Amino acid sequence: MSLKKDSLNSFDNKHLASYRKSVKNVSVKCLQSLEDLKKSCDKLGLIFVDDSKDMRKVDLILDDKIVKNQRYYFVKWQGLSNKYNTWEPNNQLTDSEDLLSYYTSLKCPSTLLSEEMIFYFIKDLMTRKPRDILTIIKLCALIYGFDEEYISSLGLTFADLKTKLIKILDIPIGKLNKIGEKLLELMKYAEKRKFVLSGLKDWEIEINAKSPVFIKVENNVDLTGPPANFQFINNYISSYVDLTENPVVFCSCVDCYENRKECCSHNLDGSFAYNKEQHLQLAVGYPIYECNKLCKCDNNCINRVVQHGPKVKLAIFRTKNGCGWGLKTLEFITKGQFVLEYLGEIITSQHAEERGEVYDHLGRTYLFDMDWEKDCKYTVDSMLFGNASHFINHSCDPNLETYTVWINQQDPMLPRIAFFAKKKINPDEELTFDYKMIDTRGKQGIPVPEDERVLCKCNSRNCRKFLF
């Protein structure tokens, strides 16, 4: 990008010094729209020219068209998200001859594949990030005659897969052309995967700008991109319920663990929730009362766990069993350890009934009743607003258990909902909880027809076969 002033040469030294000072003070936040910088320039009487494309490299060519006998390419730039994709004339892509040639070869393929196409394809798979493990496995399965599932089960590292890719370059082009049609289809599939993985990387960056702990996004299964219309949040939101936090019960403890029989939980007729390692020691169904903002104890108090947010690194991943997205841990989790909260939009029970009828048809619930009391007044809906818990799948034998937690909001009807490890959970293991779904008709005592019941896909030994 460059900043230029009208008739700059006519400025005297005094004006030039003032101009330089003005330019120096112009700044915008990283990765914000270039429009923000343009507005800043306008206020200072500066002309904004975006010539930064001259310094960027083309990452992907997504499409092309002809306008007034001039061919244009729809380009994704390296280091920029998809929202900055632009249409560029072919004479502006002089540094991308190999990419242009490969794009043209895929769009208008000849009868036989060329060595140049194979080399570009292999090189791209070896060097591109994010890495496309799925396409690499598909290619190895095609070339070496193994089943994709078998190759996946071997647990090969990227270095192992890279070695196999290099060996493909030693195969005579004539032999590769015997499976040329399948190779060409895989090359086209790989181009779609590039766009998908690029979008997922953008989404991962967006998520981690809001998440208190790192969340990875991976799809080694299909061509599904980020979910539409879902917004990450790091606290509850509501347009229907007053979420003002005014605790009325608090403690004066110096050491809450040593004084646990007189701490907040005792004053609220509960039991102290955590042991010295800050792992949960309550039975299922018992409430958790943490110290709050009015308590005299410091921020390192043992009775402050959920309020400090999640600490476990997680991954939103595409499942292979038809359950869509799932959530898994990237770290070892100890039994009783806090994992994350169930966040979303807090709505009234009446609104929940209305939305529930829609979600029933989707075969998945995003509604979580805040039912500490029998007469539940409020529900958490994570359909459009939520955190990583939105992607946790159901299991009839889950590794997470849900608990109600009160911290600064002590309304009995408005607990926070937190997930704790029901047992030890290993890295790369999917996180699950029991949805305990009830169809809206079931709540009204109306039987659900057998053909409308939603099948459970958890495959656990004690699977109930149906979600509801």
**Is 41 annotated among the ligand-binding residues?**
no
**Is 263 annotated among the ligand-binding residues?**
yes
Catalytic residue among 102, 103, 366, 435: 435
Query: What is the DSSP track for 93-138?
Result: -TT-HHHHHHHHHHHS--SS--HHHHHHHHHHHHH-SS--HHHHHH
**Is 297 annotated among the ligand-binding residues?**
yes
Q: What are the angstrom distances between the C-alpha of 383 and each of 52, 66, 362, 435?
A: 39, 41, 11, 15
**Is 140 annotated among the ligand-binding residues?**
no
**Is 253 annotated among the ligand-binding residues?**
yes
- Give the separation between CA 345 and CA 26, rounded to whole angstroms: 38
Cβ-proximal residues to 44 (8 Å cutoff; 6+ apart), any chain: 22, 23, 26
Q: Determine contact, residues 89/70, Cβ cutoff 8 Å.
A: yes
Catalytic site includes residue 286: no
Q: Determine contact, residues 296/252, Cβ cutoff 8 Å.
A: yes
Instruction: Please give the helix or strand (H or E) that residue 356 lies within, else none.
Output: helix 349-362
- Give the separation between CA 78 and CA 201, rounded to whole angstroms: 12
**Is 301 annotated among the ligand-binding residues?**
yes
**Is 108 annotated among the ligand-binding residues?**
no
Pick the closest to residue 290 from 236, 245, 346 (CA basis): 245
**Is 264 annotated among the ligand-binding residues?**
yes
Cβ-proximal residues to 379 (8 Å cutoff; 6+ apart), any chain: 346, 347, 348, 349, 351, 352, 367, 368, 369, 370
Catalytic site includes residue 342: yes
**Is 376 annotated among the ligand-binding residues?**
no
Instruction: Please state whether beta strands 58-67 and 47-49 pair in parallel, antiparallel, or not at all (unpaired).
Output: unpaired
Catalytic residue among 236, 342, 366, 378: 342
- Coil, strand, or helix at residue 31? coil
- Give the separation between CA 120 and CA 10, rounded to whole angstroms: 52
Instruction: Please give the helix or strand (H or E) that residue 416 lies within, else none.
Output: strand 416-421
**Is 30 annotated among the ligand-binding residues?**
no
Q: What are phi and psi of 304, to 5 degrees?
A: -125, 100
At 168, the amino acid letter reads: I
Residues annotated within the binding site for Zn(2+) are 251, 253, 256, 263-264, 291, 295, 297, 301, 396, 456, 458, 463
The catalytic residues are 342, 435
- Going by the annotation, the residues of the binding site are 251, 253, 256, 263-264, 291, 295, 297, 301, 396, 456, 458, 463
